[in-house]
Amino acid sequence: MMNKPTREIAESLIYEMVDGNPIYYHGYRDVLKGRKDVEAILGSTYLQSLMVANLVVQLEKRFTQRVCRPYQ
């Protein structure tokens, strides 16, 4: 029986480890084949995180105003 050659996969492509086995980001094969950059498959970029943070602040302001002034 021939063993398949194992390829060392970068830790940046691992989403999490479960029972010692890696779970890779969706699209990690495209990174290995050179079709995409690592940044292209990761969850969110710095700009996206700023946008989400801004949205949360705006929603919190609106929610707080409505709780404090329910009739306006």
Residues 52, 67, single domain; the answer is yes
> Which residue range(s) make up the domain with 49?
44-72
Residue 18 forms part of a structural domain: yes
In this structure, the answer to whether residues 16 and 31 fall within a common structural domain is: yes
Q: Is the pLDDT of residue 8 over 80?
A: no
**Does residue 5 surpass a pLDDT of 70?**
no
**pLDDT of 72 above 60:** no
Residue 17 lies in a domain: yes
Q: Are 41 and 22 in contact (CB under 8 A)?
A: no
pLDDT at 54: 94
Domain count, the chain: 2
pLDDT in tens, 27-59: 899 999 999 988 888 877 778 888 999 999 999
pLDDT band at 65 (very low <50, low <70, confident <90, very high): low
Give start and end residues of each alpha helix (H) in 1-72. Answer: 28-32, 38-41, 46-68
